[in-house]
Amino acid sequence: MPDGKDPLEPVDPGQAIAPGGGYGGGMDLAAADAQTLERTPGTGQDAGGPTGKPRSLWSDAWRDLRRNPIFIISALIILFLVFIAIWPGTIATQDPLKANLAKSQAGPEPGHPFGFDNQGRDVYTRVVYGARASVTVGVCATAGVVILGSVLGGLAGFFGGWWDAVLSRISDVFFGIPVVLGGLVFLSVVTNSTVWPVVGFMVLLGWPQIARIARGSVITARQNDYVQAARALGAGNRRMLVRHIAPNAVAPVIVVGTIALGTYIALEATLSYLGVGLKPPTVSWGIDISDASNSIRDAPHMLLWPAGALSLTVLAFIMLGDAVRDALDPKLR
């Protein structure tokens, strides 16, 4: 509400209700209220006059995002991460695989600001090079899970019926598979050492979570009168889904999706620790974190740097998700 008490409704108790059963006695507010309602409420920020460009949810959201410092900061962090994932050599000139056992677990020194790991490899270089695998796993697994889960769950919620029943049972089956056991079974038969089998496995096991959330919020949105109103106007299913249901059902998916991104990067570490995830010589934060966790008391720097990078990445995506969610809610503007 732009202004707590709305000044627009002329409330005149003497005029409002004629006694003796309601609206019988000479009530003609039509002329009067048409005049009164012309007044503009004191919002001030509403600039769009009849001559201005028509605005929509998405253009308003984008305008809002560009002014949101949280969005700018998180977007810059993510752009930076993407940059070093593609061209790690530009800020780390050493070889992430070059080991010098004499320096095993040694602390920082000039040229090696983050110190050395168990095998005497430079931690800074490994953090930079690890971004590629970790960000790829996190972003691709999240994107896959969100797309697959929200499409399947959203359609199940929208159409209901047997499609919903079948899909819900299938997602129950996938919920029943323990992640670690499933990972050992699925990934131990894969010989490919790229990130893609890991991403595929995460999407396979992760989609039911998003599907359930998407289904629930689509069912909530579908029951609103504005969806009925659109149907009454003759809108097709696609228009109702795209214009009315999706924008009103997307918020919980964004929140869960951005939080899940961090868990996927951590899950990659778990799987790598068990020997079924990424395999050396691939460099990833997950592998380094699981290596370092054995010697956390002797050499905490080995854990802190890759874990810090992971936290920063997760934080950036959560902030981005938050900013996008807020921008899509006109009530918060």
Residues that bind other proteins (CB under 8 A): 1-2, 6, 8-13, 15-17, 19-24, 27-30, 33-34, 37-41, 43, 46, 48-50, 52, 54-57, 60, 162, 165-166, 169, 224-226, 228-235, 239, 243-244, 247-248, 328-331, 333
- Nearest to other proteins of 202, 221 (CB atom): 221
With respect to other proteins, which residue has the nearer C-beta, 43 or 311?
A: 43
CB nearer other proteins, residue 176 or residue 225: 225
Name the minimum Å distance from CB 59 to other proteins. Answer: 10
CB of residue 138 vs other proteins: minimum separation in angstroms? 29
Report the distance separating Cα 18 and Cα 25, nearest Å.
6
CB of 244 vs other proteins, minimal distance in Å? 6
Using CB atoms within 10 A of its CB, is residue 60 exposed (0-12), middle (13-18) or buried (19+)?
Answer: middle
**Shortest CB 47 distance to other proteins, Å:** 8
CB of 227 to other proteins, least distance (A): 8
The CB-of-68 to other proteins minimum distance in angstroms stands at 18
Centroid of chain to Cα 216: 17
Number of H helices, E strands in the chain: 13, 0
CB of 305 closer than 8 Å to CB of 124: yes
Q: Considering the complex, state which of residue 159 and residue 273 has its C-beta at the smaller distance from other proteins.
A: 159
Q: Which is nearer to other proteins, 189 or 332 (CB)?
A: 332
Residue 213 CB, shortest distance to other proteins, in Å, is: 18
Q: By C-alpha distance, which of 269, 299, 128, 298 is closest to 198?
A: 269
Rounded alpha-carbon distances, angstroms, from residue 256 to 10, 213, 238, 259, 308: 45, 9, 25, 5, 21
Minimum CB–partner distance for residue 170 and other proteins (Å): 12
DSSP letters along 244-306, please? IIHHHHHHHHHHHHHHHHHHHHHHHHHHHHTTSSS-TTS--HHHHHHHHGGGTTT-THHHHHH
In the three-class reduction of DSSP (H, G, I as helix; E, B as strand; rest coil), residue 117 is classed as coil
- What lies within 8 Å, CB to CB, of 216 at 6+ separation is 157, 252
Q: Are 142 and 202 in contact (CB under 8 A)?
A: no
For other proteins, the closer CB: 8 or 86: 8
Query: Judged by CB, which is closer to other proteins: 62, or 87?
Result: 62
Which CB, 102 or 233, lies closer to other proteins? 233
What is the SS3 assignment for 107? coil
